[in-house]
Amino acid sequence: MEEKYQVLCAASAYDRKFYLDEAFNGLPGRIKDELKIMTVLFTEDVGGILIMEFDENGTLLLRTEADEGDLLYDEIGAALKVRSLQREKEDFFEALEMYYRVFVLGEKAEDYGSEK
């Protein structure tokens, strides 16, 4: 069975663009700004494309891609930067996952009260 992913946002170093899926237009402006800053700075640093997407369970995934002939793309640096972002922005990413699970998947907010 093929997993389905819902793209949250993406940034590309190639065309210097940021994309936010319109399904997430309801996010507060400061959250959208944070996503834009984070993804654009990422691609400025290591190149390529950064895609933030949710899997079918509501887990936020960070995926990087590069054009086949892109000799400037730093694959190792990208992987290290993804791990660094996941550590530094853990609370932010957990809040995005909760938003997705409640407002997109329709789960109950009470289920996420005090897991920590």
Q: What is the mean pLDDT of each run of 10 residues along the chain (116 residues)?
A: 86 96 95 97 94 96 94 90 97 96 88 56
Residue 48 CA to residue 109 CA, distance in Å, equals: 36
pLDDT value at position 4?
A: 87
pLDDT value at position 116?
A: 43
Q: Which of helix, strand or coil describes residue 1?
A: coil
E-state strands within 30-115: 49-54, 60-65
User: Between the CA of residue 109 and those of 50, 54, 97, 105, what are the distances in Å?
Assistant: 29, 18, 11, 11
